[in-house]
């Protein structure tokens, strides 16, 4: 919940001026809902794509204050679903998350399904159970034909800088869980599906550590938090990603 509409427009303009289109790199920005419509008219889709931060799984109805995936259709290419703040602060249930994933696909929007454990769950050795339950629960209403349209984002809550007990995840820690996610996908679907699904990492990503996370085997991109609010830092991370690709 940052930037007024005008500030979002200025930010997008700055990004557009300073980055070049790349065939091998997709850059997505996720502004507040109120800015999505005007930015959809401004954005250069050769360079950038838009994502919503959340949406309601019902296509329409008496849900005052909510925005549906049906209303976002044509405005955004992606939607972040099950972000840790949505799960923790707004008590979004596993049922809401899986319905949202299905609604996104129904409306031709690519879901970015966020999964990750808390510090307490990690301390008590529950990481695998939590990650597996959130992963398979979020995908439980996705058909075999649509599973390759989903993106997974692993964001360990204990590594998010805004949490009180955060510490930075090491590349080895990230690699362990990403490997587990792909193994779970292999066991549930197939190895070809598991390898094809993009997995992002999110958790205190900064220009200084982005390269290390991007070189973790099985990590295909980043879900960036606070650093994305500072255009110069976001551009530095984009430049790092281009170097890793090349």
The CA-atom distances, in angstroms, between 205 and each of 23, 171, 216 are 23, 11, 13
Specify whether the CB–CB gap between 169 and 159 falls below 8 A: yes
Question: CA–CA separation, 16 vs 8, rounded Å?
Answer: 12
Q: Is 121 a catalytic residue?
A: no
Instruction: Point out the catalytic residue in the list 85, 117, 121, 155.
Output: 155
Q: Which residues pair with 153 in a beta bridge?
A: 114, 200
Instruction: Point out the catalytic residue in the list 7, 83, 167, 173.
Output: 83
Q: Which residues pair with 78 in a beta bridge?
A: 51, 110
What residue spans of 66-201 are helical by DSSP H? 69-72, 84-89, 94-106, 119-123, 127-138, 171-188, 191-196
> Could you tell me which of 245, 246, 244, 237 has the C-alpha nearest to residue 28?
237
Specify whether the CB–CB gap between 127 and 121 falls below 8 A: yes
**b/e per residue 178-212 (b: at least 16 CB within 10 A):** bebbbebbeeebeeeebeebbbbbbbbbbbebbee
Q: Is 83 a catalytic residue?
A: yes
Number of Cβ within a 10 Å radius of residue 177: 21
- Catalytic residue positions? 83, 155
């Amino acid at each position: 919940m940052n930037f007024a509409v005008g500030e979002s427009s200025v930010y997008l303009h700055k990004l557009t001026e300073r980055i070049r289109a790349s065939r091998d790199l997709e850059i997505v920005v996720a502004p507040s809902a109120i800015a999505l419509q005007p930015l959809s008219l401004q954005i250069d889709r050769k360079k950038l794509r838009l994502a919503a931060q959340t949406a309601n799984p019902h296509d329409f109805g008496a849900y005052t204050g909510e925005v549906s995936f049906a209303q976002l259709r044509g405005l955004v290419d992606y939607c972040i679903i099950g972000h840790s703040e949505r799960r923790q602060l707004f008590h979004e249930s596993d049922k809401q998350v899986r319905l949202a994933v299905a609604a996104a696909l129904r409306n031709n929007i690519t879901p970015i399904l966020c999964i990750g454990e808390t510090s307490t769950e990690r301390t008590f050795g529950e990481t695998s159970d939590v990650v597996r339950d959130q992963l398979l629960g979020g995908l439980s209403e996705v058909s075999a034909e649509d599973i390759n349209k989903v993106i997974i984002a692993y964001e360990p809550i204990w590594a998010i800088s805004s949490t009180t007990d955060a510490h930075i995840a090491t590349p080895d820690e990230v690699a362990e869980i990403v490997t587990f996610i792909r193994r779970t996908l292999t066991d549930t679907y197939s190895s070809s599906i598991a390898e094809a699904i993009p997995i992002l990492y999110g958790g205190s990503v900064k220009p200084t550590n982005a390269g290390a996370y991007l070189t973790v085997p099985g990590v295909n991109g980043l879900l960036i938090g606070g650093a994305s609010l500072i255009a110069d830092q976001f551009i530095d991370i984009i430049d790092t990603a281009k170097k890793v690709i090349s």
